């Protein structure tokens, strides 16, 4: 199974040092799920493997506000919405980025599963690409709710005027730069050095990289292990 996306994903414009390495050796995964669980979120066996059999973590992105390799993801609705928690959203439209997203797809699935509810049965899920785009879709009443990284929420001050937070999940992992396990040590070292020296622009979703450590994503792997096979 090829677990590598076709190229750098949205939110990582400017990673010039990767442009010559995309093609099986190096991959920039926007989500932890793609990097170390597999692109198919419904494959329970893949979720329970000790790790991606082809790639290993090199560096992990951080929050531009806290510098930590994880963030909170926030459940938001319009300011005038009467909902106060995810329980109040039954049967309504919910926007997610994709089915491997560690901030918009898996978190509500885990939250509802803990209550004995099925995510895709409890909510009418709608794929809405982008980050701030999903908050804008809530404001425009195209969807009723979404979950968004706290850093993205903070980047647009007007979000607090148009929307409100009614839930959250902590320790959601960000992007991970993974390398093929067959790549030679010298090349791996050079890539690590380049990644750690990279200074992202303010418009980029994440902050700088730091060395990957499994401890940074351990909590999230436990969250995923709670989910049934049909999620």
Please write the tens of the pLDDT for every residue from 141-198. 999 999 999 999 999 999 999 999 999 999 888 888 877 788 888 888 888 898 899 8
The two structure tokens encoding residue 212: 């990957």
Query: CA-CA distance, 10 to 21, in Å (whole number)?
Result: 17
Greater confidence (167 vs 50) lies with 167
CB 224 within 8 A of CB 217: no
Please write the tens of the pLDDT for every residue from 25-42. 555 444 444 444 443 334
Greater confidence (87 vs 200) lies with 87
pLDDT at 133 over 60: yes
3-state SS, residue 32: helix
User: 13: burial class by Cβ within 10 Å (0-12, 13-18, 19+)?
Assistant: exposed
DSSP track, 125-156: EEE--SSHHHHHHHHTTSSSEEEEEHHHHHHS
Please write the tens of the pLDDT for every residue from 88-119. 999 999 999 988 888 999 999 999 999 999 99
- Cα distances from 33 to residues 36, 68, 101, 175, in angstroms, run 6, 18, 7, 10
Write down how long the chain is: 231
Domains and CATH numbers, the chain: 23-66+176-220 (no CATH), 71-172 (3.40.190.10)
Percent of the chain with pLDDT over 90: 46
Radius of gyration of the chain (CA): 17
- Cα distances from 30 to residues 54, 82, 90, 93, 101, in angstroms, run 17, 33, 29, 24, 8
Greater confidence (140 vs 54) lies with 140
pTM of the full structure: 0.79
């Amino acid at each position: 199974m090829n677990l590598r996306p076709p190229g750098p994903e949205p939110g990582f414009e400017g990673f010039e040092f990767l442009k010559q390495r995309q093609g099986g050796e190096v991959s920039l995964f926007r989500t932890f799920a793609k990097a170390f669980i597999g692109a198919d979120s419904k494959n329970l066996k893949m979720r329970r493997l000790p790790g991606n059999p082809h790639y290993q973590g090199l560096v992990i992105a951080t929050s531009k506000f806290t510098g930590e390799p994880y963030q909170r993801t926030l459940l938001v609705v319009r300011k005038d919405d009467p909902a106060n928690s995810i329980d109040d959203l039954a049967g309504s439209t919910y926007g997610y980025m994709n089915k491997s997203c560690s901030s918009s797809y898996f978190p509500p699935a885990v939250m509802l599963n803990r209550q004995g509810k099925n995510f895709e049965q409890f909510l009418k899920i709608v794929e809405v690409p982008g980050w701030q785009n999903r908050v804008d879709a809530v404001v425009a009443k195209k969807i009723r709710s979404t979950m968004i990284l706290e850093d993205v929420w903070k980047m647009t001050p007007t979000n607090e005027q148009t929307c409100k937070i009614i839930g959250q999940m902590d320790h959601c992992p960000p992007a991970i730069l993974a390398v093929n396990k067959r790549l030679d040590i010298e090349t791996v070292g050079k890539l690590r050095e380049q990644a750690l020296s990279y200074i992202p622009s303010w418009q980029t979703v994440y902050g700088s990289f730091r060395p990957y450590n499994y401890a940074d994503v351990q909590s999230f792997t436990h969250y995923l292990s709670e989910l049934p096979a049909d999620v």
